[in-house]
Amino acid sequence: MRSAFFGLNVAARGLYSAQRNLDIINHNINNVNTPGYSRQLGVQTASRPMPLLNGTGMLGTGSEVVAINRVRDEFLDFKYWSENVSFGEWNIKAELLADMEVTFNEPSDSGFATILSDFFNALQELAKDPSSEAVRALVRQRGVTMAKYFNSLASHFEKLQADINYNIKTKVEEINSLAVQIQQLNRQIYISELDGNTANDLRDQRTLLVDKLSRIINIEANEIVVGKLPDGRDEKHFVITISGKALVNHFNVSKLEVYQRDESQRLNEEDIPNLYNIRWEDGNSIDIRSGELRGYLDIRDGNDGILGVDGKTKSPKYKGIPYYLRMLNEFVRTFAMAFNEGLDGTPGHADGYRLDSVTGDPPSDVRFFTIIGSDGNPISSSDFMSLGADINEIYKNITAKNFAVSLDIMEDLNAISCSGEAGEVGNIDNLNSLLKMRHNPHMFNEGAPEDFMKSLVATLGIDSQQAVRYRDNQEVIVKQIENRRLSVSGVLIDEEMANLVRYQHTYNACAKMITVLAEVYDTLINRMGIG
């Protein structure tokens, strides 16, 4: 037997259902600009009907909102994470390679081609008047400018390597911070959902953190079933792994750490000291395959896959800072050796004679280029030649960072050796040999000095363009997936406003139904039998 006030109960249920849906719409509209928010949708069903005793059927009892669902496509989340990691890697590489291109500053009025031209043009001027002190001073200054160009390049690259090293440490700290936040959300979500509810907003927060994490390092995120809850529902744990090892295992976190390399762990001869390696806090190694962290590591350590100083460890198969430093070192060593000692039977600077030489004097044995000593000043030719047992060992001491005009030249302009014979001031045979160095196609595998540097700058340009192209392609893919996610999960104001009007009318209709029933009951109770 149904209650005399059954109609009021049905109308009240409709009122409550409409109000609950309006509350959900209100929440959606309030979070239209909240990052990572997923639109929520009330699941409304007809409430349990009442059977009638006379067998005429089941009488409906109204409606109820049985769940509030988070509108989300998990496949799109997994797709986004798998593509976002590649975008993070190439975005970092594109930015850092662009910084390296600026360091070379080619082509420009202050780039290598201009500096090399100025140096050999000064030598050409000296050929016109070998005894001119002013032109000799110009030659020395142009040599110093060229040396400082390489010093500056090396310093900029080392500074960039130090900055990247710091960024690697920062990124590891960010990974650990995100992992802890995800772990805390896992706990809150688990507790909140024990009674069968779904912690929609907490899940949105967790997904947003995973989005950020997916750009930094290669992760896999899954919610796995580990058993059954007392009410029969699946018990699920949220797990994030990096190359197979769990970073977050539901309530547990395995953190990463950085530690400074000692000299035996130094990967490249060109590396600055105290660079960071990355490992798990328990001491196990980690395989970082992609993401922003991979981008930083490739640029910081990449030396085209050559063996490290230990003869075993290989650098990343990528042309990063150590590679370009190695190429710059190779250039200054080869160029200095050719200019000082000669090449293919052609005399070098050390084979010429000083301006103040007299007949019978031996060749000057002065090296135009040496290195900067420990005191910060160029060393002399004699000190330089005592640095090794053979010529190759000696010139291996030259790097782009310590490349310098020798102390002999800096202290005495007469030491610039132009003459091919002692005591002949106007003789420029040796100077002509030095001038030929500029276009000597046998100095480098790539050809003349300018060819070597052009090839190096071109390689950097190609790598940079490739990184930009990959970055742009990945950005398009990531944005496409993100737009698809938004089309599924995003809040559309027009749609919410339409639903708002719909449920407002429903609410008003239910309220009107209550008013009508109230009048019916008033007539039934208070007015029947009154004549």
Question: What are the boundaries of each domain within the chain?
Answer: 6-71+490-527, 80-105+156-320+460-480, 130-147+322-439
Q: What is the pLDDT of residue 60?
A: 87
Residue 263 has pLDDT above 90, yes or no: no
Residue 530 has pLDDT above 70, yes or no: no
The torsion of the CA quartet 393, 398, 399, 405, rounded to 10 degrees, works out to -170
Where does 251-377 show beta strands of DSSP type E?
252-253, 256-260, 276-280, 369-371
CA distance 13 to 16: 5
pLDDT confidence band for 196 (50 / 70 / 90): confident
Residue 7 has pLDDT above 90, yes or no: no
Q: What is the pLDDT of residue 2?
A: 56
- Please state, rounded to an integer, the average pLDDT across all residues of the chain: 93
CA atoms lying within 13 Å on the CB side of residue 443: 29
CB atoms near residue 5 (< 10 Å)? 11
CA distance 484 to 79: 11
Residue 463 has pLDDT above 60, yes or no: yes
Q: What's the full length of the chain, in residues?
A: 531
pLDDT confidence band for 13 (50 / 70 / 90): very high
Task: Write out pLDDT tens, residues 125-148.
Answer: 999 999 999 999 999 999 999 999
Percent of the chain with pLDDT over 70: 99
Give the three-state DSSP class for 365: coil
| Token couple for 62 | 């109204």
Q: What is the pLDDT of residue 234?
A: 85
For the whole model, what pTM was predicted?
0.90
Mean of pLDDT values over 407-434: 94
Mean of pLDDT values over 480-487: 96
Q: What is the pLDDT of residue 314?
A: 85
Q: What is the pLDDT of residue 1?
A: 44
CB atoms near residue 274 (< 10 Å)? 12
Lowest mean pLDDT among 51-60, 222-231, 425-434, 488-497: 51-60
Contact 194, 208 (CB under 8 A): no
CA distance 116 to 253: 56
List residues bridging with 487 in a β-sheet: none
Residue 310 has pLDDT above 80, yes or no: no
Mean of pLDDT values over 380-384: 96
Mean of pLDDT values over 303-315: 84
Q: What is the pLDDT of residue 4?
A: 58
